[in-house]
Structure 1
């Protein structure tokens, strides 16, 4: 349930306080830049899923960070838990591989400190392939809610991945783009896409969706062709081929996992039907 609240009126010299909230798991190489870019926030909350690469130790040693370890179930549950830890109503919720550039930082401070009808703001993201801007391949219109008032939002609990924010009120769009350093190296991004596919499959299975096998098998092919041709991945050169392939691989993994979950569910059902009932 979304709690109702009214934004406090600022006195001269005061500013709206902002909580930066981030979830992490094995994010060394990413998290340092993310943390440095949100140093303007009044508090930084990080919820870590028991990282094993030094992320937790790095965060624990940082003087401005409050780090909490919490077991990961899915992205929606983890982000819901993390949001509850924020002390301030205005929340800047980032992924560990995102960086707030100077222009966007100024815009965030400006919109949170002026009377505004908006309670949430979309951020367009600039996808970075290593340190180069990936201009197409389906990422050119990518946007997410990243700044919002905690009292006016809630994460939709029906999703396990690519979570959806439910907003009570109007939304705006910021002009400057968030930097998204999602692709550091091939194996890391591949692992991420496979994990997304598995979570999507589990979400579909739990929701009782029935998808034709032909559609599931065709989905990865269509996704690659759509992003590479219609969404102009071909203009990104070799980088475009890699990203379009790995994003399509997520759909292929979704099909494989969904098929396995359905098979296991059928086997359990058959076993239950055949097993004798004891008095």
Structure 2
């Protein structure tokens, strides 16, 4: 688990896995709250390392694991308790799969969303020797070489603490996404700056059914579209500065 000022949720996330894993490792990016103390109290080993980006941190965290299987979760995620019985029914750990994906369900303003951000399958449990992370600044994901199986058990994802936190994260991730786009040689056009966000809004709200989540679904689709717009706006600023 990666952490940076997660004192309000790290204990709950770790508590759900504590009795089912051999070892818990938290890689902390120099938190200035009680995150490290709470993680240690929950039974985790805490390693402190200066922040050098998501991919670098996750790769380093992966290198600390010596067990055959790795369960990688974030502090804003809580795994539903049915996971362990489901894995047992599949013959885990002596099974044919090399990695398992679980569906993440976003919890926003206290509501578990049915359709927003779906489908959102996250690779969370992998054979250590087969796992890797691609080179990306944002939306980096755990990959595995081999057979991937999807589980019924879900992850509850409480990514945003408030509307202000949501907007701050949008800006942060948009800048990282702009760096990815720049590295790919992408340029800004009218379509990218305005039509692409409009398509994202329509896709999430209508095609993916976010409208079924009511006002919250509308907020999520609108903010997601705004994040796409910001990415290309920041890319334009980067290109103009060259």
Same fold, judged at TM 0.5 (above): yes
Aligned to 1:28: 7
Aligned to 2:210: 233
CA shift, 1:121, in A, is: 0.7
Aligned to 2:24: 44
Distance 1:29 1:108, change over 3 A: farther
* 3-state secondary structure, aligned to 1:128: strand
Q: How does 1:235-250 map to 2 (within 5 A)?
A: 235-250=212-227
Does the 8 Å contact 2:123/2:143 carry over to 1? Answer: no
Q: How does 1:79-94 map to 2 (within 5 A)?
A: 79-94=58-73
CA deviation map 1:87-128 (0-9, x unaligned): 212000001111112111332455473432211111111211
Distance 1:25 1:63, change over 3 A: closer
Aligned to 1:168: 145
Distance 1:181 1:195, change over 3 A: same
| Alignment gaps of 5+ in structure 2 | none
Aligned to 1:14: none
Does the 8 Å contact 2:14/2:42 carry over to 1? Answer: no
| Separation in structure 1 between the aligned mates of residue 112 and residue 60 of structure 2, nearest angstrom | 32
Aligned to 1:155: 133
1:146 aligns with 2:107: no
Q: How does 1:1-279 map to 2 (within 5 A)?
A: 22-39=1-18, 40-59=20-39, 61-62=40-41, 64-108=43-87, 111=90, 113-137=92-116, 139-157=117-135, 159-265=136-242
Q: Which moved more, 1:48-57 or 1:31-40?
A: 48-57
Moved beyond 6 Å, runs of 4+ = none
* 3-state secondary structure, aligned to 2:153: coil
CA shift, 1:196, in A, is: 1.2
CA shift, 1:34, in A, is: 0.5
CA deviation map 1:177-219 (0-9, x unaligned): 1111223311112212221111110111123223424323322
Between structure 1 and structure 2, the one with the greater Rg is 1
- Per the normalisation by structure 1, the TM-score is 0.80
* 3-state secondary structure, aligned to 2:73: strand
| Separation in structure 1 between the aligned mates of residue 85 and residue 54 of structure 2, nearest angstrom | 29
The alignment of Structure 1 onto Structure 2 pairs a total of residues equal to 241
Does the 8 Å contact 1:217/1:255 carry over to 2? Answer: no
| Separation in structure 2 between the aligned mates of residue 168 and residue 151 of structure 1, nearest angstrom | 9
* 3-state secondary structure, aligned to 1:145: strand
| Alignment gaps of 5+ in structure 1 | 1-21, 266-279
